[in-house]
Chains A and B, each alone.
Chain A
Amino acid sequence: MATKTFVKLKAKDQKKEAKPVEFEIGQANKLLKLSNSQWELSDDKFQWNGIEIAKK
């Protein structure tokens, strides 16, 4: 069984002290692709190229 990959995103519209949230990579991709996404990548191990999240 394949292990799921989790990625940390941070909400742009939450209070500053809000911590990044882990999402399964499929959901993280959906969140970042939203036209007015309020989420941004906050994970040193990954990068966002505007289309999908990839490992660094």
Chain B
Amino acid sequence: MDCNCPNPTELSEIGNVDCGVDLNQVQRIAVQRGGAYEFDESASPTPQDVKVLSVWQALKTATDDTKIVFTPMIGGDPIIEPGEAITVGGGDNSTLNGVEEVQGVNPSKFSCVFKSLPATIEKQMKSLMCEKNLVVYLFLQGGKVAVINAGTGVYKGFTAQSLFVSDRGNQGFGTQDAVNFSFSFPAGWSDDLEIVKLNFNPFTDI
């Protein structure tokens, strides 16, 4: 959050909530190198409409930094833990009147579990840990995608840092092996969130 001077002359307006916005369940993730691509509905000569399957297919088969890879369906426990406030002091002599000072926001953390992954897929997913500049697209229940609104008809993925894919865990008889998957979103990751209904099924069509 940028709180540097000068302050606005008045408080910034907060609009009315006409309808709620919820991600609901994240069910699949697409990963791409950061800074390489934006979906742009009005791009010329060929629109790069985020809602259109052919655009995603071109990215899936790309041979440069625009290439997108898709995880298998998430097996369970997809959650996003919002970053907590970074504070100083509170109830001691380090701040004026002992009042806690909020100095920033920690990253948010996405985590989930992939179940019964073949070793080849597990290994392929682990190669993402060597990448230092990634963005992700979150496919949501109902076949929608969560993206960053970067302008009229322009969308991009969320920056994902510290991506981690664990080794296989096993809980014994009658259980499925599990691979833990996580990454961090930088503070403010959801400020320009938009949920877009796709013209195709991102769980079966790609």
Contact = CB atoms under 8 A, between A and B. Distances in A.
B203 to A, nearest CB: 13
Interface size on B, as a range, is 10 to 19
A31 B59 CA distance: 10
B62 A39 contact: no
Given A14-B47, A24-B63, A36 B54 contact: no
Contacts, number: 47
Of the listed residues B47, B52, B54, B57, the one surrounded by the most CB atoms of chain A closer than 10 A to its CB is: B54
A13 B199 contact: yes
A54 to B, nearest CB: 19
Interface in A5-33: 11-15, 18-19, 21, 23-24, 26-27, 30-31
Contacts of B63: 24, 26-27
Contacts of A36: 53, 205
Given A13-B52, A14-B54, A36-B205, A31 B61 contact: yes
